[in-house]
A and B are shown apart, each in its own frame.
Chain A
Amino acid sequence: MRKVSISLLVVSLALAGFLASCASSAPSAAAAPAKVRKERTVIVPVPVLVKETSYYSDGQLDQYIVYTYDPSKKLLLEKDTYDPSQAAPMERVVSEWKNGQLAADVFYDRDGKVKFRHDYGYDAAGRLASDTVTDGKGRPSSSSTYTYDAAGDKIEWRVFDAAGILDAVTSYAYGAPGPDGAALPVLVTMKDPGGAVTGTIKLAYGPDGKLQRRDYLNPDGSLRKSELYAYQPAAPYGPVSMELLRADGSISEKTTYQSGDLGQILEATDSDGSGAIRGVTKYEYIVRDDTHTNVYYE
């Protein structure tokens, strides 16, 4: 199961739901000109992940992760991973924020020593422009830069080694926008520093703009593996499953989800290709009430 994808998905769902609600309030082409623009303030409940508990397939507790936020519950300050038998965390990730932007993530080991850290830089528009990794001794390890087009969509990611020599270039191409107007990447092309393609990823979306499929292709264009995503057909639009398929279409692993009223993932069960359960992760949230202004016409 991809823990990263889950947290991403949770926020995505909340945000997508919010944007969709905004979009549905916009005037249609057939709107009567006599109607006037009005605004109303709405409270949008947003689930905020606070604890993640993993279990082995036999039900034995494996580990748990505690997330700590600032008082607004918007900025993640710390992510602590615990082994159930240990009082101190096995790993701590402390996030540093500056002017509302994530400035750094510092990873500590179980002895409290820095393992490595990421320092982030932003462009004038406030978009992530660079990510520099240093090891526990402060030595440069690698770095990344990001480039965006005029519309603000990321079009390139470059990876450099410790000496600043280019290692990899990844470019992004976008298709038709989703229902909320946001650009949807449809092709990701990965290249080596010489420009030779090392692989591509094709993405496909459903009519609702949700990612349905991701195909990983070899440099020669042959299919290597695929990921299939399924969602609940109606609100709260939570994900149902993610399947990882081999090139021949057989399932190599699968994660099934149970979602809450707000579309947040409550439980994820990982199984292998034969369906044997490998582990279960449960998620706990607090709900943050965000205030948004909706525009409507009457």
Chain B
Amino acid sequence: MKRLVPLLALLLIGSTLVFADETTEVYKRLFLQAQNLSQKYAEALNLVQLQDPSVAPVLSDALTQLLRTQENYGRPSDKALYASTVRVVAQALGDYKYLDAAPALWDSVQQIADPLVKADALIALGKMHATDYAERIALLLRDLDFKPTQDPDYGEKVAYGAIFALEKLRDIRGFSPVFFASVGWYSQRVRQEAAQALPNIVDDPTDPIMSIIQTESSDRKVLALRAELNSNAPNDRKIQASTYALSIGQKMAPTDPADARQLANLRKLALNALIVFKAKNPDAVPYCVYSYKNGYDSEERLLALAALGANGTDPAAAALSDIILRLDSDQQAGITGDTRDRMAKAAIENAGLTGNKLLKPALITVAADNNWSDGIILAAQKALKALP
């Protein structure tokens, strides 16, 4: 107990630095000379409490030796003590960020069955920024994500360590497995841990998220897009992912009504993002038009019109103009209804928001068409005033 004992002695005796650094020297020797496992464990405890990084090489060698002698500790009581000893050593190596110990820690993950040992070794690899192991840890978590382990508690513990490590390693290869952990079979604690880790792993997860949106189930597509929108990615990348999600949400044929709802949710989330970020990308326009024409419900169609209004580019203005003129032509033909009125009003209001003069002819047409209600005509006049 190096921290408080000297402090206490200092206060009691009234001297400075009374206790030299002999504690490390003594405990290091005792650790190296420990004959049996219980001695080794006791001395390891003493050694790691010193919080002295100079003991890291000794601990690293000890870990290697423990791995070599694992077979000697087959009895259940020995196994538990063996695991405790390795855990103490692994934790300290992580705290000291002793990178030279990374191979031995990875060997511990692979060779020792105890899930808490695996978890602590993984955590240590993360803490020491052992980036060479990012891919291996990502693959390990990916395999765990597939399905619950025979003993779910085992998988939970190892997954927790892997998630922690990947968060610390901040390697983009860790994003997908941690994402799948956040929506996987694990307990809420592990899923939450994974969800919280996601924004810390990489600032811009757009590429792995687009890959998830392309290949995964509809509900996971929605969650992936949410993760993108919650990430620290720049807005243009979020727009890119949203546009992609919108396109995928339209291309996919739903397998059943529930799937159709999820795909609609994906499209609505994407459209909403395009509105919030005032996406000006022309490539989003055809997908907005598609959602307007084929939307799952009025909400999706209205969001599509709002996205076109927020876009405001010439292609978006041209699309809105076509929509307004088509609605006007229907109105003149006597095809009316509340829903059509709501769409017309929304299209007109969003036309005003574009600030694009390409919409003037369409708005003038509506404003001069007495088939419309006063409210619609007034909206068209107001929108016209907003245009240059």
Contact = CB atoms under 8 A, between A and B. Distances in A.
Interface of A: 1-5, 7-9, 11-12, 15-16, 19, 56, 60, 62, 76, 83, 85, 95, 102, 105, 107, 116, 118, 120, 126-128, 131, 133, 135, 141-142, 152-154, 157, 159, 161-162, 167-168, 170, 172, 178, 180, 182-185, 188, 190, 192, 198-199, 201, 203, 209-211, 214, 216, 227, 244, 278-279
Given A85-B197, A135-B45, A142-B46, A15 B14 contact: yes
B16 A209 contact: yes
Q: Which of B5, B26, B127 has the most chain A CB within a 10 Å cutoff? A: B26
B30 A168 contact: yes
Nearest to A135: B45
B42 A142 contact: yes
Interface of B: 1-22, 25-27, 29-30, 38-39, 41-43, 45-46, 49-54, 84, 97, 127, 129, 164, 167, 170, 196-197, 200
Contact of A198 (B29, B52, B127, B170): B29
Contacts, number: 149
A135 B182 CA distance: 35
A8 B10 CA distance: 8
A275 to B, nearest CB: 17
Given A128-B5, A190-B22, A3 B12 contact: no
Contacts of A1: 53
A180 B54 CA distance: 32
Given A2-B52, A4-B50, A168 B18 contact: no
A211 B20 CA distance: 10
A80 to B, nearest CB: 14
Q: Is the interface of A mostly helix, strand, loop or mixed?
A: strand
B8 A184 contact: no
A227 B52 CA distance: 14
A5 B97 CA distance: 19
A168 to B, nearest CB: 5
Contacts of B197: 85
Contacts of B17: 8-9, 12, 210-211
Contact of B7 (A7, A152, A184, A214): A7
Contacts of B9: 127-128, 154
Contacts of A183: 15, 18
A12 B14 CA distance: 9
Given A201-B20, A211-B17, A190 B25 contact: yes
Nearest to A167: B30
Contacts of A203: 20
Contacts of A12: 10, 16-17
B3 A7 contact: yes
A8 B7 contact: yes
A110 B164 CA distance: 13
Q: Which of B22, B41, B43 has the most chain A CB within a 10 Å cutoff? A: B22
A94 to B, nearest CB: 12
B13 A279 contact: no
Given A4-B51, A85-B200, A162 B10 contact: no
18 contacts: A4-B6, A16-B16, A83-B164, A102-B4, A128-B5, A141-B45, A157-B22, A161-B39, A168-B29, A172-B20, A182-B13, A185-B18, A188-B22, A199-B29, A201-B25, A210-B16, A216-B25, A227-B21
Contacts of B12: 126-128, 152
Given A56-B129, A201-B21, 4 more contacts: A12-B10, A105-B1, A116-B45, A170-B22
B8 A3 contact: no
B5 A131 contact: yes
A278 B46 contact: no
B2 to A, nearest CB: 5
Q: Which 9 A-B pairs have the closest CB atoms?
A: A182-B15, A141-B42, A12-B16, A188-B22, A4-B2, A188-B20, A211-B17, A4-B3, A118-B1
